[in-house]
Copies of this chain bind each other. A is one copy, B any other.
Amino acid sequence: MEELVVIKVGGNIIDNEEALKSFLTSFSAINKHKILIHGGGKIATEISKGLGIEAQMVDGRRITDAETLKIVTMVYGGLINKNIVASLQSKKCNAIGLTGADGGVVLANKRPIKNGIDYGFVGDIKEVKSSVLTTLINAGFTPIIAPLSVDENGSLLNTNADTMASEIACAMSKQYKVSLVYCFELQGVLRDFEDKNSVINEINPDTYSQLKGEGIISKGMIPKLDNAFDAINKGVNAVVIAHADNLLAIINEQKKLGTVLKK
């Protein structure tokens, strides 16, 4: 099986021009088949504010109403995605930018109302058409994917980028030996959030339960790790959570940096 690296880059990197530039230089130098899934960052929120669109919150959760869907389509699918693609092209990486709608690659259902909460235009992924991505990769393209899916009625849907990455990694595991790397602004999963060097080098399902029980892993890291373990259980070969700066060392030099998840 050929190798494929599926990389998710987080919003904090997207928001920092220098960090993004450096990340894209590393990404373009990866000498394997690769797919990038990018997060949204704060630009959508800033533009919403600029247009006077209030973030809709219900029980502390953000709601994607029709106006917000327009904004994320513009910002994730347009501004961020196309600037990443243009930048990679200038670095000789033959990038092609996609949302889940393009080629119908990520199909979703609009999230049903749960416990009285209507999340709005949010997609729960139903199917990743891996053949679309394989076709593009075989044709020499590097897919760059924005966190938007599409339903069968032709509505775009806001979709969690970590979930997009893990679902895409799972689907591609049928044809490739897939490594999934979550790149963000920290060195890995930290034992002590105040100590940036307290990286937990390895987590397996047992230690994951333990770390959650002790409150060491909490909040935003839980859905990320749930996605990651889900990917491993569905056939992804390796999952690493690491600092964006270490991407090339991990992939091209196979250095053990960041947090490695084991089955």
Contacts and interface: CB of A to CB of B under 8 A. Distances in A.
Interface size class of A (residues with CB under 8 A): 35 or more
Contacts of A159: none
B89 A101 contact: yes
Q: Kindly name the residue among A74, A76, A97 whose own CB sees the greatest number of chain B CB atoms within 10 A.
A: A74
A102 interface: yes
Contact of A86 (B75, B94, B155): B155
Contact of A50 (B50, B102, B135): B50
A105 B103 CA distance: 17
A156 B86 contact: yes
Contact of A73 (B50, B70, B78, B153): B78
A103 B94 contact: yes
- Chain A: interface secondary structure? helix
A101 B97 contact: yes
A174 to B, nearest CB: 19
B82 A99 contact: yes
A91 interface: yes
Contacts of A96: 98, 102-103
Nearest to A52: B50
A90 interface: yes
Contacts of A101: 82, 85-86, 89, 95, 97
Interface in A63-88: 70, 73-79, 81-83, 85-88
